[in-house]
Amino acid sequence: MPISRALLTAPLVLTLLALGTASLPSEPHLPPASSYLPRLVVEGRAPAAAFLARRDTPGQAARYRSTGPGIGVADRFRAGSVTKTFVATVVLQLAEEGVLRLEDSVEDHLPGLVRGHGNDGSALTLRALLTHTSGLYDYTAALPAADPVLSGAAGPSAQPLTPAAAVRAAVSRPPVTAPGSYAYSNTNYVLLGLVVQRATGRPYATEIRRRILSPLRLTGTSLPGARAPLPLPHSRAYHRSPTDGALRDVTSAGPWFSGAAGELVSTLGDLDRFYGALLGGRLLPPARLATLLDTGASGGVYGMGIYPQELSCGATVWGHNGHITGSYVRTAATRDGRHVLTFRVNTGTPPGADLEAELLEAEFCPRVRSEVP
């Protein structure tokens, strides 16, 4: 996957809770994605997991499933790098309006910010930031605390990392690749957040609210900045320390370092609606949507804030994942946006790529029968 992937110790009694229809009545042979939820809990080392799938077919309700204690369909959770799809959408809207151009250089909008140690903002375009082909070092790899949860850096009193400080941390290191080569870097989207603010005079979060959240009525989605509390309702979030293996409750840990690269808080339903609307053409005109989905610059790996995944049945789904302290989420949708699935676990430990692919195939490959161990 193009995203870097960074339990309770008592035994869990895994119970499947079914709300909504049990399966799509027109496809009774479809392997239910819910069959994979217990494995998400075990292999993701999470106390609980949930998914919500919707399809724009008359008479067919959205399907929700969960397993494990204390997780609900309306829960707010931290969505991590799913934020990037929202940011990319706003940038392309601004390009459509002529406020900026994708071939503008970073230097055009943020003079002097990307400079030194082999970094040159005048040689990097906004297109390169959007497609992760800038070569910029990922600032999250330069953070001083190896385990911010244990050090207390992610707690309620944490001092947020400003976007400028994040960029300075990145450009204090040489580029990881030459411009034009794909290398996923959170620095790219922190810079895009700053570009949006410079181009519009308003913070990127304000632009996301007015351009996406309000029109689509995504009332469970917010961009809280570095504020720690999750809005209600929410389930608990957990983190297993890499230093001593201990489990920590990190529900109150805010996105102190994430910014435009990963601060979004959302719900299963809101993410389903957003990706359905985006791919369905409600947020971008056809030519700009095609640009968003063009993976040519990255060698087929990544578009602009979104990436494809080809399944074994030949279907390709589009979406993004989010990996942040206490939360892992994945949304995938068909190209027309009419069939969307979002699932999450309430730790930052992602399930394996094979399991994730199996779950997506159970949902999007009706002719493929998968045996659930």
Residues annotated as catalytic (active site), given as ranges: 81
Q: Identify whether 224 is preceded by a cis peptide bond (ω within 30 of 0).
A: no
List of E strands, the chain: 16-19, 49-55, 63-67, 77-80, 115-116, 119-120, 238-240, 247-249, 264-266, 307-310, 316-324, 327-333, 339-345
- Contact criterion met (CB below 8 Å) for 239 and 348: yes
- Contact criterion met (CB below 8 Å) for 252 and 155: yes
- Write the CA distances from 358 to 130, 333, 353, integer angstroms: 29, 15, 9
Q: Which two tokens stand for residue 297?
A: 């610059």
Place of tokens 């030459």: 178
What is the 3-state composition of the chain as percent helix, strand, coil, each rounded to the nearest 5?
30, 15, 50
Give ∠ CA 80-1-188 in degrees, rounded to 5: 55
Residue type, 81: S
